[in-house]
Amino acid sequence: MGLEIEAKLKVDSHDAIRATLADAQARCVGQVLESNVLFDHPDGSLRAKGCGLRVRSCVALAGETPMPTITYKGPRQASPFKCREEIEITVDDAAQTQAMLESIGLALILVFEKRRESWQLDDCLIELDEVPYLGTFVEIEGPNEQQIHRMQDRLGLSGRALIRNSYIALLVDYCKHHGLPISSITFEQANAT
């Protein structure tokens, strides 16, 4: 079991962050289009406890295609950052993993896409994310809060408000507020509205 500790920040553009990362000789790990498929018990008990179960598959836009994963996330812990237990394993076949989860009674509740560009600098992983309808974000994941604070400063993001909600929660709120379907959220749909 691991502990995910990350800062999520809304930005207008990734350009300045990308330039800062390049100047700092950070290593670009790759760029992907993710498909995130969320599961829950039919009664919604995972979400009610603040937990999540996700199957993720990716298409490489640059670099190598990562293997699909299945991830459990526990409830948020007290922290100014997004901090929660995370258990993630690599799987060979995302579609078969999804079929297995459905066959044991879990329900597919939401599918959403995300574009992600990943960078490694020191002990931190910096993700430049784009989410349909919501725009651009930066996530900084590190081994502890101090390292994340230092990386925020280094990237010129120290004055920005931290977002503790997941992309899922943000997307569900957005779609409810705008009367949009929630079951599948893609860039194609967002571009059509």
pLDDT of residue 2: 81
Give the closest residue to 44 by CA, choosing from 35, 53, 34.
Answer: 53
Report the distance separating Cα 8 and Cα 64, nearest Å: 25
**Span 82-102, average pLDDT:** 95
Through-space distance between the first and last CA atoms of the chain, rounded to whole angstroms: 40
Give the CATH number for residue 72.
2.40.320.10
Element holding 152 (H helix, E strand) = helix 145-154
Q: Work out how many domains the chain is built from and give that number.
A: 1
Q: For residue 160, how far is the Cα from the chain centroid?
A: 19
How far are the Cα atoms of 84, 112, 136, 137 from residue 4, in angstroms, in the given order?
5, 21, 21, 17
Give the closest residue to 169 by CA, choosing from 82, 90, 58.
Answer: 82
Query: pLDDT band at residue 4, thresholds of 50, 70 and 90?
Result: confident
* SS3 state of residue 2: strand
pLDDT of residue 124: 96
Domain hosting 8: range is: 2-192
When the pLDDT of each residue in the chain is averaged and rounded to a whole number, the result is 93
Judge contact between 172 and 185, C-beta under 8 A: no
Report the distance separating Cα 35 and Cα 85, nearest Å: 22
Give the closest residue to 106 by CA, choosing from 74, 70, 76.
Answer: 70
Q: Is the pLDDT of residue 1 over 60?
A: no
